[in-house]
C-alpha cells in the first residue's frame, strides 16, 4: 500500500517540476504566474500526501495530517517526527520553504505605498519566500531526495 502512496507523491512532484520549468518559458507575466502558482499548489499537495505516507509507515493508516504538527502528534517520539520538526524549523529547508509559500499563496498581495517627497523613508521590507521557478525547482529536488531516503529507510524495516 505504501508503494501506491509513494507513486502518488512522486507524480505530484513530477508534475510540479514540469510546471515550474514551464513557468520560466512563458512570455506573458500572467502565464508565468499561473504556471508557478500551479506548481506551488502541486508541491503543497505532494507535501500533504507525503505526510499521509509517513503516517502510514507508522501504522496510522487512516490519518491524513495536513501539517507537520498534526503528523508529529500522531508519530511522536520517532526519528521521522524529529527529522520533520527540524526541517520545518530550519530556514531554507524544503519543508520550511513550502510552509512559507503556503502562507504567501493564501494571502492577498500586500499593497505597495506610492513614493512621494513627503513619505520617503529608508526601510527594509520583508522579502517573503522565494517564489522563483529556480527556487521552487530546488525545493522540489530536495523534497524528492527526502522521499527517496524515506522510502529506503522504511523499506529496511
The mean per-residue pLDDT over the stretch 75-83 comes to 95
The domain limits of the chain are 2-108+131-155
User: Contact, 28 vs 79, CB < 8 A?
Assistant: no
DSSP codes of every residue in 1-66: -HHHHHHHHHHHHHHHHHHHHHHHH-SSHHHHHHHHHHHHHHHHHHHHHHHHHHHHHTT-TT----
Distance CA 73, CA 41 (A): 25
- pLDDT per position as a tens digit, 89-125: 999 999 999 999 999 999 887 776 666 656 555 544 5
The mean per-residue pLDDT over the stretch 32-60 comes to 96
The mean per-residue pLDDT over the stretch 7-22 comes to 97
Q: Over pLDDT 70: what percentage of the chain?
A: 88
The cell numbers describing 104, all together, are 504567501
Least confident of 49-53, 69-73, 132-136, 152-156: 152-156
* pTM, full prediction: 0.85
Report pLDDT for 20: 96
Report pLDDT for 126: 52
Distance CA 5, CA 25 (A): 31
Amino acid at each position: 500500500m505504501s508503494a501506491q502512496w509513494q507513486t502518488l507523491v512522486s507524480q505530484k512532484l513530477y508534475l510540479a517540476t514540469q510546471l515550474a520549468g514551464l513557468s520560466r518559458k512563458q512570455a506573458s507575466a500572467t502565464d508565468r504566474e499561473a504556471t508557478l502558482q500551479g506548481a506551488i499548489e502541486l508541491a503543497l499537495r505532494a507535501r500533504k500526501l507525503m505526510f499521509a505516507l509517513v503516517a502510514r509507515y507508522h501504522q496510522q493508516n487512516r490519518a491524513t495530517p495536513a501539517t507537520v504538527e498534526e503528523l508529529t502528534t500522531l508519530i511522536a517520539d520517532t526519528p521521522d517526527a524529529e527529522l520533520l520538526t527540524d526541517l520545518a524549523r530550519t530556514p531554507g529547508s524544503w519543508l520550511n520553504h513550502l510552509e512559507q509559500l503556503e502562507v504567501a499563496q493564501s494571502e492577498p498581495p500586500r499593497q505597495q505605498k506610492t513614493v512621494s517627497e513627503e513619505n520617503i523613508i529608508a526601510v527594509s521590507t520583508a522579502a517573503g519566500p522565494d517564489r522563483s521557478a529556480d527556487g521552487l525547482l530546488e525545493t522540489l529536488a530536495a523534497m524528492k531526495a527526502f522521499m527517496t531516503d524515506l522510502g529506503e529507510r522504511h523499506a529496511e524495516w
